[in-house]
Amino acid sequence: MIRQELEGNDVDALISVDRYGIDECLASGALGAVFRGYDPVLHRPVAIKILRSELARDGGAEGLHERFKRRARAAGRLFHPNIPTTFDFGEDNGIPFAVMEYVDGSPLDRLLKIAGPFAPQRAVAILLQVLDALKYSYENRVIHLDLKPSIVLVLGNNQVKVADFGIALVNASEPTRISEALPTTSSVAPEQLMGAPVDHWTDLFSAGALLFQMLTCTRPFRGGSVAETLTQMENRGPENVCALNPEVPRALRSVIEKALAYDPGQRFATAGAFSYAVSEAVSLGDGTGIVMRSLASQTASQEHSAAENKNRWDPEILHRVEADLATHIGPVAAIAVKRAAKQANDLIALYEELSVYVRNDKERGEFLASERRVTTARPRRLAFPHPDNGASDSIVQRSRPLDPPDLAVLNIIEARLAKYLGPIAQPLLQQRLQNFQGFSDLCRSLADHISDESERAAFLDLALT
């Protein structure tokens, strides 16, 4: 049984938890501890995480119990080679615990302290496994929100396990707020620092910070306060990774800067896109690397094909929606609108998805009513509807396939697109060429992937002249 007198740092006083024997304390933090234990029924080692007893019994215990249980349930839904399996959850003497796969590996932060900065090939090989775990978790509606070197475990065969998955989304459009995430790392996304809604784009920012730390043994932003860090994120961007580690190729620096963009809309849209970009930037030079690159390429291709089926919003409409939402939640409306626009197919759906950010019932009704005002000013549907969304046959069959531009022209377009999108420009261009309908149509479809309006206009000015 968990001893009643277990308080403070006295974590070594444990003998057993429920049926599980305790061998040693592996890690201890402000909220709990992780022990190496033993399952006497299945005769195997396990890892046991428990909430500190003083926290489990204080005034806020109910909320902590619920959060602990929610994290255990979320992690229990995940069965992936790069994620430790959760076996059991329960309470012993009023204190919740979770039983997980025991991973005989070294935390990434400890390896970095011993070995110093990693070579780009090793850092990328680790990151690709982390991103594969994230991609799988998003498919199961689970986000991490506390990705950091100490919870990335590296085994002797260089396999990676990402621990502490813990936030489950009830549905894909439901945002998770900072109060539910409790991040402990200093390299978190700006929306986390501001207490704004967070989601998988937040995880991908932390993955970019993780890559930066593997390459430099330092953080990408080193502000002395939250306000100073946010200013660096918005105005300066991350430290120059190539200056801190001359082995890092410039292509990888571009990938990192995109991953760590202040605006979520300018980051990689998916874990697969991030994987593809990073594997293109650094050659791993072994069989594993080839397989990783092939999988990342296939994933990115599938995701871009899926993106083709989404509508493209008129920037003026989004500006009006953002203004409506900002009257209720302030500047973070810009972030919320960019995310919701990726999911919603029409104006009503967009307002409904965004309404979850407005907590007051009366104000939420006012915000939803403002949709009608925008509808009367602009068409409800988007500027360029996809044929499957009700377009006429004349649009579907508007022209027969045309011959694409010559290679020299395509190389110029790719170079100009890469200025804004980085390494993903090449596969994106190749994908668009599969349904080539004219040079102007090609340039405009590519421009749709540039989130910043001024940058999009600059690309079109160059591409169409």
DSSP 310-362: S----HHHHHHHHHHHHHHHGGGHHHHHHHHHTT-SSHHHHHHHHGGG--SHH
pLDDT greater than 80 at residue 48: yes
pLDDT, tens digit (0-9, with 9 covering 90-100), for 265-319: 899 989 999 999 999 999 765 444 444 444 454 455 445 444 443 446 888 788 8
Examine residue 394 and state whether it is found in any structural domain, yes or no. Answer: no
Rounded CA separation 432/152 (Å): 37
Lowest-pLDDT range of 73-82, 271-280, 456-465? 456-465
Residues 37 and 96 grouped into a single domain = yes
Q: Which residue has the higher pLDDT, 310 or 260?
A: 260
pLDDT greater than 90 at residue 107: yes
Residues 135 and 219 grouped into a single domain = yes
Q: Which of 47, 53, 89 is nearest to 69 (CA)?
A: 89
Residues 289 and 341 grouped into a single domain = no
Examine residue 2 and state whether it is found in any structural domain, yes or no. Answer: no
Q: What is the CATH number of the domain that holds 43?
A: 3.30.200.20
Q: Band the pLDDT of 46: cuts 50, 70, 90.
A: very high
What does 374-393 look like in DSSP terms, one character per residue? HHHHS-SS-SS--GGGT--H
pLDDT in the model for residue 366: 84
pLDDT, tens digit (0-9, with 9 covering 90-100), for 316-344: 788 888 888 888 877 677 777 887 887 77
Examine residue 135 and state whether it is found in any structural domain, yes or no. Answer: yes
Residues 407 and 454 grouped into a single domain = yes
Examine residue 6 and state whether it is found in any structural domain, yes or no. Answer: no
User: Residue for token digits 């007051």?
Assistant: 360
Residues 296 and 356 grouped into a single domain = no
Q: Which residues are annotated as catalytic?
A: 146
Residues 175 and 269 grouped into a single domain = yes
Residues 156 and 72 grouped into a single domain = no
3-state SS assignment for residue 236 = coil
Which of 308, 324, 355 is where one domain is finished?
Answer: 308
Q: Band the pLDDT of 123: cuts 50, 70, 90.
A: very high
**Chain mean pLDDT for the chain:** 76
Examine residue 188 and state whether it is found in any structural domain, yes or no. Answer: yes
Domain of residue 369: give its range: 315-377
Which of 339, 360, 377 is where one domain is finished?
Answer: 377
Q: Band the pLDDT of 188: cuts 50, 70, 90.
A: confident
Q: Name the strands in the sheet holding 95-101, side by side, starting at the edge strand that comes first in the sequence.
A: 16-17, 20-28, 32-39, 44-51, 95-101, 86-92
Q: What is the CATH number of the domain that holds 263?
A: 1.10.510.10
Burial class (CB in 10 A: 0-12, 13-18, 19+), 101: middle
Q: Band the pLDDT of 197: cuts 50, 70, 90.
A: confident
Burial class (CB in 10 A: 0-12, 13-18, 19+), 213: buried
pLDDT, tens digit (0-9, with 9 covering 90-100), for 375-426: 655 443 333 333 333 333 333 333 344 566 666 677 777 777 877 777 667 7
Q: Band the pLDDT of 252: cuts 50, 70, 90.
A: very high
Q: Is the pTM for the entire model greater than 0.75?
A: no
| Number of domains the chain contains | 4
